[in-house]
Amino acid sequence: MTGPYHHGSLAVQTRVGVRDLADHVGRSIGPGIRPVAAAFLELQPMLVIGAADRDGRVFGSLLTGPPGFVRATGPTSVSVTGGVPEGDPLAGVLGPGGPPAGTPVGTIALDPRTRRRMRLGGTARPTPRGLAVEADRVFSNCPKYLQRRELYAPAPATTPVTVTSGARMTPAQADLVREADTFFIATVAPGQGADASHRGGNPGFVTVTSPTTLSWPDYPGNAMFLTLGNLEADARAGLLFLDWTTGTTLQLTGTARARYAGRDRTVHFTADAVVETRGANPLRWSPPEYSPANPAVPH
Reported as a single tens digit per residue, the pLDDT across 51-103 is 999 999 999 999 999 999 999 999 999 999 999 998 999 999 999 888 878 89
137-180 pLDDT per residue, tens = 999 888 999 999 999 988 887 778 999 999 999 999 999 999 99
Model pTM greater than 0.75?
yes
| pLDDT range class, residue 1, cuts 50, 70, 90 | very low
* Residue at 294 is within a domain: no
Q: What are phi and psi of 14, to 5 degrees?
A: -65, -45
* Residue at 287 is within a domain: no
* Residue at 121 is within a domain: yes
Positive or negative: CA dihedral 21, 290, 246, 65: positive
* Residue at 295 is within a domain: no
- Smallest CA-to-CA distance from 224 within 86, 63, 21 is with 21
pLDDT at 2: 52
Does position 3 have pLDDT exceeding 80, yes or no? no
Nearby residues of 130 by Cβ (< 8 Å), 6 or more positions away: 69, 79, 80, 81, 82, 83
Please state, in angstroms and rounded to a whole number, the distance separating the CA atoms of residues 214 and 209.
5
* Residue at 104 is within a domain: yes
* Residue at 298 is within a domain: no
pLDDT at 4: 87
> What is the mean pLDDT of the segment spanning 103-110?
97
Please state, in angstroms and rounded to a whole number, the distance separating the CA atoms of residues 61 and 250.
9
> What is the mean pLDDT of the segment spanning 181-203?
96
Please state, in angstroms and rounded to a whole number, the distance separating the CA atoms of residues 268 and 257.
5
Q: What is the dihedral of CA 193, 62, 207, 55, to 10 degrees?
A: 50
Domain CATH code at residue 23: 2.30.110.10
Show the CA angle centred on residue 108, arms to residues 102 and 110, nearest 5°.
150
Helix, strand or coil for residue 35?
helix
Domain count of the fold of the chain: 1
Q: Are 147 and 200 in contact (CB under 8 A)?
A: yes
> What is the mean pLDDT of the segment spanning 38-47?
97
Q: Are 105 and 98 in contact (CB under 8 A)?
A: no
- Smallest CA-to-CA distance from 33 within 141, 138, 142, 123 is with 138
Please state, in angstroms and rounded to a whole number, the distance separating the CA atoms of residues 122 and 50.
11
* Residue at 297 is within a domain: no
233-266 pLDDT per residue, tens = 999 999 999 999 999 999 999 999 999 987 789 9
Give the domain range for residue 168: 7-142+161-278
DSSP conformation class of 143: -
> What is the mean pLDDT of the segment spanning 114-134?
95
* Residue at 28 is within a domain: yes
Positive or negative: CA dihedral 281, 34, 28, 130: negative
